[in-house]
């Protein structure tokens, strides 16, 4: 049975009640906030920090994207699922680029929302567990592979789950590393978004193509920081992506 605390940020009482009823029935602790100001205070409460936020983008006193930006700029890494009635991919993509972990468009199925929450929390737990393992390994045996890293192309340190490009360490999140490594394993092949979702993210039926696109965007940005002329990840319109070197 779940025991995490979910903070639901929405100013529509009917929506909040539907979400709260579903999550409570699954064992989550539910707290609510009807405004951006209240939400910021609740999310920053170190005595009772939430484990995940459900964030409506249309709040009465603050744009939800501004709230998300404020949280990330303050250093908060709490998982966030954005909730929006706006049928606009731009809002969703901006939310993901600001650090949201997933998105749900209103009207939504409460069962789908609960499934997305489970998926986000599971990925979060995987990330924290990996970070803890790597920290322990680093203490036991400091990892210093820099002398062996080639100054051209991509280099992967599989045990440490780290990657270098042109001799420089890439600052990758868990799924970014997995995505880049999978593309590198299939260098030159066009990999569909559906295949990437299945092989990199698993079989979460509610994760969609936008998640892949945003992660590809972040990877390209990080590669370009090292080499602005790099064009390692190419798009095949309507199909997916391929990595070339």
Percent helix / strand / coil, the chain, rounded to 5 = 45, 20, 35
Q: pTM (2 decimals)?
A: 0.72
Domains 5-123 and 143-243 share a fold: no
The number of beta carbons lying within 10 Å of the beta carbon of residue 28 is 24
Q: What pLDDT score was predicted for residue 144?
A: 55
Cα separation, 78 vs 87, whole angstroms: 25
Strand partners, 30: 6
Q: What pLDDT score was predicted for residue 42?
A: 92
Q: What pLDDT score was predicted for residue 29?
A: 94
Q: What pLDDT score was predicted for residue 240?
A: 92
One CATH from 3.40.50.2300, 3.20.20.70, 2.120.10.30, 1.10.287.130 for 5-123: 3.40.50.2300
Q: Are residues 176 and 215 in contact, defined by beta-carbon separation less than 8 angstroms?
A: yes
152: three-class secondary structure by DSSP: coil
Q: What pLDDT score was predicted for residue 120?
A: 86
Angle (CA) 48-104-236 rounded to 5° is: 125
Q: What pLDDT score was predicted for residue 230?
A: 85
Per CATH, domain 143-243 is 3.30.300.100: no
Report cis status (omega within 30 of 0) of the bond before 10: no
Per-residue pLDDT of the chain (245 residues; tens, 9 = 90+): 568 999 999 999 999 999 999 999 999 999 999 999 999 999 988 888 999 999 999 899 999 999 999 999 888 889 999 988 766 667 777 787 788 888 888 888 999 899 889 888 887 887 777 667 666 655 655 555 555 777 788 999 887 788 999 988 898 888 889 999 999 999 999 999 889 988 887 755 556 677 788 889 889 999 999 999 888 999 998 889 999 97
Q: Are residues 60 and 181 in contact, defined by beta-carbon separation less than 8 angstroms?
A: no
Instruction: Show the beta-strand stretches assigned E in 88-158.
Output: 102-105, 154-157
Numbers of helices and strands, H then E, in the chain: 8, 11
Cα separation, 176 vs 181, whole angstroms: 8
The number of beta carbons lying within 10 Å of the beta carbon of residue 8 is 25
Q: What pLDDT score was predicted for residue 189?
A: 93
Q: Exposed, middle or buried by CB within 10 Å (0-12, 13-18, 19+), for 53? A: buried
Q: Exposed, middle or buried by CB within 10 Å (0-12, 13-18, 19+), for 206? A: middle
Q: What pLDDT score was predicted for residue 106?
A: 85
Q: Are residues 42 and 31 in contact, defined by beta-carbon separation less than 8 angstroms?
A: yes
Domain boundaries, the chain: 5-123, 143-243
């Amino acid at each position: 049975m779940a025991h995490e605390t979910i903070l639901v940020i929405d100013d529509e009482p009917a929506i909040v009640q539907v979400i709260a009823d579903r999550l409570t029935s699954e064992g989550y602790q539910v707290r609510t906030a009807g405004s951006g100001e209240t939400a910021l205070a609740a999310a920053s409460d170190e005595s009772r920090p939430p484990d995940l936020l459900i964030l409506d983008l249309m709040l009465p006193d603050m744009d939800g994207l501004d709230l998300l930006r404020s949280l990330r700029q303050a250093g908060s890494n709490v998982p966030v699922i954005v909730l929006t009635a706006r049928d606009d991919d731009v809002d969703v993509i901006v939310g993901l680029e600001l650090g949201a972990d997933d998105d749900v468009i209103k009207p939504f199925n409460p069962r789908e929302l609960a499934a997305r929450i489970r998926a986000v929390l599971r990925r979060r737990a995987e990330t924290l567990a990996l970070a803890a393992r790597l920290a322990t390994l680093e203490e036991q045996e400091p990892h210093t592979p820099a002398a062996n890293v080639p100054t051209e192309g991509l280099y992967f340190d599989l045990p440490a789950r780290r990657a270098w490009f042109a001799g420089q360490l890439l600052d990758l999140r868990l799924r970014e590393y997995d995505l880049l490594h999978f593309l590198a394993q299939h260098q030159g092949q066009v990999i569909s978004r559906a295949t990437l979702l299945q092989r990199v993210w698993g079989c979460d039926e509610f994760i969609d193509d936008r998640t892949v696109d945003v992660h590809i965007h972040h990877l390209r940005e990080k590669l370009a920081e090292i080499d602005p002329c790099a064009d390692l990840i190419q798009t095949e319109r309507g199909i997916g992506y391929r990595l070339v070197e």
